[in-house]
Structure 1
Amino acid sequence: MIAANIESHLQQVRARIQAACARAGRPPEQVALIAVSKKQSADAIRAAYQLGQRAFGESYVQEALDKMAQLTDLDIEWHFIGRVQANKTRQIATHFDWVHSLADPAHARRLNAQRPADAPPLKVCLEVNLSGESSKEGVDPADVADLLAVCDALTGLRVRGLMTLPAPTEDEAVQRQPFAALRNLRDRLATPARPLSCLSMGMSDDLEAAILEGATFVRIGTAIFGPRPYN
């Protein structure tokens, strides 16, 4: 039953991505799907993998490590999308391929120092707080250039783009505003040497708006796996 539900949901999400790309005049291959598997079981991840899904997003380090240990036979691309904590940076640097939520120069330096020497640079997106709310994670837009400069000097990291997590709303026009703001910020900061080609934005309820504004990663959990089975 788990596999059957995930198959149906994945088909629906992929169809939504294709339809949104058609509206935006973009090739569907420009948008990568990250299946947000936090609070989901290793069996659910395996079921999605068997249906062709390769990128999975986790927010809690120990939970992710437990599932990674059960799925060592699969060539999963692991994305860390949760809050980066100083006491977890070694595990993140060691076990993940991507970090979408980097917002602190000290965390950047720790991730760089703790990335294994035989591993490729850790791919990162800088999380931007576009709302200005102190309760939200992310770096202020005015400070992104300074954080980029710090990361550019760290050989163990490679900044690939920007990420944001806006406040939820059902109005597509309103949904598009922060996504457009992130794209515009990227366009101002991108250079030939560091094009910031990745925009990680859009979730189950607003993936269409994100794709219309240039998302290259959408992070989808509930629409694939259904409600989280445990807290």
Structure 2
Amino acid sequence: MSDITHNLAQVREKISAAAQRCGRASEDVTLLAVSKTKPASAVAEAIAAGQRAFGENYVQEGVEKIRHFQDAGVRDLAWHFIGPLQSNKSRLVAEHFDWCHTVDRPRIASRLSEQRPAHLTPLNVLIQINISDEQSKSGIALSELDALAAHIAALPGVQLRGLMAIPAPETEYDRQFAVARKMAVAFDALKQRYPTVDTLSLGMTDDMDAAIAAGSTMVRIGTAIFGARDYAARPNVNL
């Protein structure tokens, strides 16, 4: 058993245990394996262990991996863009990814819709919320959510699926849970207005338990699966 296979099994067990503790089914929480900076060989190990959803922070690196596995005939993967999105990179995301988690302004949403190829299904998008009001992070305030959601819902090339957030680091569970609940309340309200909304992307390795207890439907886990990242080796994505 490879390290990645072992790590994936452990992460899945932790997700299942966290879900059971709050009366949820483990199937209600999707594991998004964050494969940024990792080579295609590492992703291949995760695929062999049954993982199908992968998150990438860097557009070009993600596109290279997507093309690599398409060329290899692996067609059942879901690729999520989870990094900050610049306008000049929106076309690559629209043409290659299945999801974009970081929509935070109408112009980006419109560009993604216009640039989504007609032969593909609409791009699944999440609105990024800056839930901890950090100047260093992308995302909108909750007060801006209604207007942006209405804008996205009217676009033909994208489909509004929910919300994403990267809360400020907290070491205490109660504080983690309080922030996660703010997101969950906003998510539940959004679901009442838009039938396509079903995804709350919230929770990483250190706050996964609190996020799941609050209602997250997708957790983003990287290092616990693939090991420490070597950013110097980021461009090397080949097998």
- Structure 1 pair 28–226 and aligned structure 2 pair: CA distance change class (3 A): same
Q: Which residue of 2 aligns with 1:78?
A: 79
Q: Which residue of 2 aligns with 1:43?
A: 41
SS at match of 1:162: strand
- Structure 1 pair 61–181 and aligned structure 2 pair: CA distance change class (3 A): same
Does structure 2 conserve the Cα–Cα contact (< 8 Å) formed by 1:127 and 1:163?
yes
Give the whole-Å Cα distance in 2 for the aligned partners of 1:46 and 1:54: 10
Q: Which residue of 2 aligns with 1:208?
A: 209
Does structure 2 conserve the Cα–Cα contact (< 8 Å) formed by 1:159 and 1:194?
no
Gaps in structure 1 of 5+ consecutive residues: none
Give the whole-Å Cα distance in 1 for the aligned partners of 2:60 and 2:191: 34
What is the letter of the counterpart of residue 85 of structure 1?
Q
Deviations 1:192-219 (A, max 9, x none): 5435221000011111111001111100
Give the whole-Å Cα distance in 2 for the aligned partners of 1:110 and 1:70: 26
Does structure 1 conserve the Cα–Cα contact (< 8 Å) formed by 2:134 and 2:168?
no
Give the whole-Å Cα distance in 2 for the aligned partners of 1:191 and 1:115: 27
What is the letter of the counterpart of residue 12 of structure 2?
R
Gaps in structure 2 of 5+ consecutive residues: 233-239
SS at match of 1:154: coil
SS at match of 2:127: strand
What is the letter of the counterpart of residue 45 of structure 1?
V
CA deviation after TM superposition for structure 1 residue 13, in Å: 0.1
* RMSD of aligned residue pairs (Cα, Å): 1.2
SS at match of 1:199: strand
Give the whole-Å Cα distance in 2 for the aligned partners of 1:154 and 1:20: 36
1:113-192 matched pairs, under 5 angstroms: 113-191=114-192
Q: Pick from 54, 61, 64 the counterpart of residue 63 of structure 1.
A: 61
Give the whole-Å Cα distance in 1 for the aligned partners of 2:228 and 2:135: 28
CA deviation after TM superposition for structure 1 residue 53, in Å: 0.1
Deviations 1:62-81 (A, max 9, x none): 11122223222222210000
Q: Which residue of 1 aligns with 2:10?
A: 12
Give the whole-Å Cα distance in 2 for the aligned partners of 1:81 and 1:173: 26
Give the whole-Å Cα distance in 2 for the aligned partners of 1:117 and 1:159: 17
SS at match of 1:191: helix
CA deviation after TM superposition for structure 1 residue 26, in Å: 0.5
Deviations 1:80-110 (A, max 9, x none): 0000110000000000001111101000000
CA deviation after TM superposition for structure 1 residue 222, in Å: 0.5
What is the letter of the counterpart of residue 97 of structure 1?
D
Which deviates more, 99-108 or 194-203? Answer: 194-203
Give the whole-Å Cα distance in 2 for the aligned partners of 1:192 and 1:106: 22
Q: Which residue of 1 aligns with 2:27?
A: 29
TM-score (norm 2): 0.92
Q: Following superposition, which runs of at least 4 residues in structure 1 exceed 6 angstroms of deviation?
A: none
